[in-house]
């Protein structure tokens, strides 16, 4: 027998794609999830269809947040601004200009992207807490403008959009549209992570100055991450506006949306392709169980908060770490985690 | 190829470098030595465009480069191996090395250069898929040098290569660097370890609290009484 030691040849490709963990397992898991999501409207409607649509919109926004927060490592706390601008842009184009939905939504997304670029250029120079605070302030200020500029946005009266026809298909229509957006987000993430742009984001996250030394235009890298997260949230806002047929500043600029995006991403695993998508599921399942199935009344928020803290303490890199087998769910491993992250 | 004239650099109002004049010819190895806080790294950062000078000029092959952004300067041919390695800890060794070639479009040459740096550092070939953060200090420094070489710069700036490493490893890495020098690369070595730097270099500059005080042939400087007293401890 020929027992020759076979050495795997070194593949010399420049950008293999920054994929971590067990990709085959994860794509299999997501495949099952998508098969379920695809046929879901056949046996569910009303409440559950609406809940799933909200979940998918959250997943899409989380995928967007993952670009700036997960891959580029900038703690953006104002991504709801893109959602709100997307919703308002769509609503205003459809009511004031009487445009159809799709061109209207494109206007909303374009406005969100323009906003991300114009304000991203100055605030992405800030780091750490300063950047986080600036994004919160930006989102709050934008919401205030939408709320007060009565002649343009309708102010606190909101904007009522035309209904979708035919009405009885409305639920399915927006559900599948949201599902399409989620798939688009996954594809976009995968595509970027196989390219220079993805590498530049991760390099900025790992060491921004070293990234600069490698010849990466870090400003460009950060602004594209910010703008692409605006694309995802902008589309989600547009779908939301037409789906709910009503847009109100207090609702679409709620900081809760930002927090949900971050939680979904962190639950699932920031800086991974499927993390935000799976994290959105985990988050929704958690909230649904707490709010609807546990007889604890108003205590559910307290319990949710407690669970979030525990998740942060014990799985700082998200569920993804367990799925990919990098971390074991044992007491010793958890305590080790606490030690490493100095919680 | 590189000519620095009357360069003044500072952070905010604090001036760190005063009237620096320095010249590097093609295929030379220049050592820039000096003690902690003398401004060595500041000078490197200014050359590579990460810091903007207050006044003075930096010319690469006759072209003024001071004030250009870092990516532009790298594109013109000045690469850097930064102090403290500064690897991308979450990326694999291979990804780190390839990041050095980020700006290059000549993919075929990149592949050749990749094979070349692996032949310089065979250990890297065994660890290509390992995350850079998990390497030992010496291996990290090899990875950082490999990454710097992948930009295929005309002039490579190497900052404090020996910092925190065992002498035998430092020797290994400098051995690899000297092979690179034979391939017609010009190198500026910044070192705190003066003797080590003078051994590697053709010429040297001594930086003392922001001023260049001594310069000349590296071998002659080893016999210079001032240097012997101040830096070599003999």
Secondary structure letter of residue A72 according to DSSP: S
Rounded Cα–Cα distance for residues A6 and B165 (Å)? 34
Question: Residue range B188-211: average pLDDT?
Answer: 91
pLDDT at A260: 94
pLDDT score of B222 more than 70: yes
Contact call for A213 and B115, based on CB within 8 A: no
pLDDT score of A6 more than 60: no
Rounded Cα–Cα distance for residues A62 and A147 (Å)? 25
* Token pair 């809760």: residue: A256
Rounded Cα–Cα distance for residues A324 and A24 (Å)? 10
Q: Which H/E stretch holds residue A197?
A: helix A196-206
Contact call for B102 and A12, based on CB within 8 A: no
pLDDT score of A324 more than 70: no
Cβ neighbours around A107 below 10 Å, total? 21
Q: For residue B70, list chain A residues with Cβ-Cβ distance below 8 A.
A: 212-213, 215
Question: Residue range B12-25: average pLDDT?
Answer: 94
Residue A4's pLDDT band (cuts 50, 70, 90): very low
Q: Where are the beta strands (DSSP E) in chain A?
A: 159-160, 246-247
Q: For residue B102, list chain A residues with Cβ-Cβ distance below 8 A.
A: 196, 199-200, 214-216
Residue B158's pLDDT band (cuts 50, 70, 90): very high
Residue B151's pLDDT band (cuts 50, 70, 90): very high
Mean pLDDT of chain B: 92
C-beta of residue A123 within 8 angstroms of C-beta of residue A76: no
pLDDT score of A78 more than 90: yes
* Token pair 């304000």: residue: A119
pTM recorded for the entire structure: 0.90
ipTM given for this complex: 0.91
Contact call for A207 and B87, based on CB within 8 A: yes
pLDDT score of A1 more than 50: no
* CATH class for the region spanning B26-50+77-232: alpha beta
pLDDT at A3: 46
For chain B, what are the domain ranges?
Answer: 26-50+77-232
Question: Residue range A129-135: average pLDDT?
Answer: 94
Secondary structure letter of residue B167 according to DSSP: H
Question: Residue range A66-88: average pLDDT?
Answer: 96
Taking each helix axis from N to C end, the angle separating A80-95 and A255-268, rounded to the nearest 10 degrees, works out to 130
pLDDT score of A325 more than 60: no
Contact call for B102 and A214, based on CB within 8 A: yes
């Amino acid at each position: 027998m020929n027992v020759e030691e076979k050495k795997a040849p070194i593949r010399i490709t420049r950008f293999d794609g920054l994929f971590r963990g067990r990709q085959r397992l994860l794509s299999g898991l997501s495949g099952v999830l998508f098969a379920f999501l695809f046929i879901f409207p056949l046996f569910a409607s009303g409440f559950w269809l609406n809940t799933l649509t909200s979940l998918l919109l959250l997943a899409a926004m989380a995928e967007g947040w993952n670009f700036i927060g997960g891959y580029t490592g900038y703690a953006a706390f104002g991504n709801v601004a893109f959602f709100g601008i997307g919703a308002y842009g769509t609503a205003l184009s459809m009511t004031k200009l009487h445009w159809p939905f799709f061109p209207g939504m494109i206007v909303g997304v374009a406005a969100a992207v323009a906003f991300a670029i114009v304000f991203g250029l100055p605030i992405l120079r800030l780091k750490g807490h300063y950047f986080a605070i600036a994004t919160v302030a930006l989102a709050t200020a934008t919401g205030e403008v939408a709320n007060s500029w009565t002649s343009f946005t309708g102010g606190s009266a909101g904007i009522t959009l035309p209904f979708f026809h035919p009405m009885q298909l409305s639920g399915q229509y927006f559900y599948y549209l949201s599902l399409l957006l989620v798939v688009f987000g996954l594809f976009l993430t995968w595509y970027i992570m196989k390219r220079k742009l993805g590498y530049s984001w991760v390099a900025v996250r790992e060491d921004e100055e070293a990234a600069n030394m490698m010849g990466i235009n870090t400003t460009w890298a950060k602004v594209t991450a910010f703008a692409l997260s605006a694309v995802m949230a902008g589309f989600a806002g547009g779908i939301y506006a037409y789906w709910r047929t009503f847009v109100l500043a207090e609702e679409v600029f709620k900081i809760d949306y930002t927090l949900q995006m971050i939680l979904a991403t962190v639950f699932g695993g920031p800086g991974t392709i499927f993390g935000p998508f799976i994290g959105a599921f985990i988050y929704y399942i958690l909230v649904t169980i707490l709010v609807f199935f546990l007889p604890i009344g108003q205590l559910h928020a307290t319990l949710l908060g407690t669970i979030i803290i525990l998740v942060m303490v014990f799985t700082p890199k998200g569920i993804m770490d367990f799925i990919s087998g990098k971390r074991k769910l044992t007491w010793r491993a958890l305590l080790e985690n606490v030690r490493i992250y100095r919680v | 190829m590189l000519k620095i004239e009357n360069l003044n650099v500072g952070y905010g109002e604090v001036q760190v470098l005063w009237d620096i004049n320095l010249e590097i010819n093609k295929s030379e190895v220049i050592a820039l030595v000096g003690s902690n806080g003398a401004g060595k790294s500041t000078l490197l950062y200014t050359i590579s465009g990460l810091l903007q000078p207050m006044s003075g000029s930096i010319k690469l092959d006759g072209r003024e480069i001071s004030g250009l952004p870092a990516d532009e300067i790298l594109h013109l041919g000045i690469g850097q191996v930064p102090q403290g390695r500064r690897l991308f800890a979450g990326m694999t060794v291979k990804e780190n090395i390839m990041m050095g070639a980020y700006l290059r479009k000549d993919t075929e040459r990149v592949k050749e250069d990749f094979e070349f740096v692996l032949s310089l550092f065979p250990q890297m070939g065994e660890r290509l898929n390992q995350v850079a953060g998990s390497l030992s200090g010496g291996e990290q420094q090899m990875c950082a040098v490999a990454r710097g070489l992948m930009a295929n710069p005309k002039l490579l700036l190497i900052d404090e290569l020996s910092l925190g490493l065992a002498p035998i490893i430092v020797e290994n890495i400098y051995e690899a660097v000297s092979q690179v020098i034979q391939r017609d690369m010009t190198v500026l070595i910044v070192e705190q370890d003066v003797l080590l730097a003078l051994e590697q270099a053709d010429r040297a500059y001594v930086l003392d609290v922001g001023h260049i005080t001594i310069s000349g042939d590296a071998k002659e400087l080893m016999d210079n009484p001032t240097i012997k007293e101040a830096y070599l401890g003999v």
